[in-house]
Amino acid sequence: MKKALKWIGIILAVVFLGMQAVQPERSNPPVDESKTLYALVNTPPEIRAIIDRSCTDCHTHNTRWPWYSYVAPVSWFLARDVQEGRSHLNLSAWGQYSASRAIAKLDMMCQEVLDEKMPYPPYLIMHPGAKMSQEEIDLLCDWVETERDNLMQPDTSATP
């Protein structure tokens, strides 16, 4: 029995070490600061603090890759989650969104937080400080409503 457990342990160790050879893409593409949410949307400091703490790791190109993001199989899940997060909402590429898409993204931000889908529950396990209080959720959603209304107003700054 001891011999079998020893071999099982050796096999598991070899498999674990072999998994480390398969590393996912963990990149932070360059950011054009003029195209970020912060450059294009009025973002008060208190809103920026909430977004920086709770959203930027998965929804920007400024992801902080912690040590465990280099250990398979966790690295695979983290890289996939960041890639998926950026595909749904990328605050670093806000300037690529049309006005109607930006409005939809703002609405989505509020709804996902209200539904407790964001911050992503597995992310909160290792980052409990990213959890938003009800006051922060209300503040974020009020900001979303204001900015959505601003985006819906026609641009009257152009001269005829």
pTM comes to 0.84
Question: What confidence tens digit (pLDDT) does each residue in 59-83 have?
Answer: 999 999 999 999 999 999 999 999 9
Q: What is the pLDDT of residue 157?
A: 57
Q: Which amino acid is at 64?
A: R
Mean per-residue pLDDT for 128-148?
Answer: 97
The SS3 of residue 127 is: coil
Enclosing H/E stretch for 126: helix 121-126
Q: What's the rounded Cα separation, in Å, for the pair 130 and 105?
A: 20
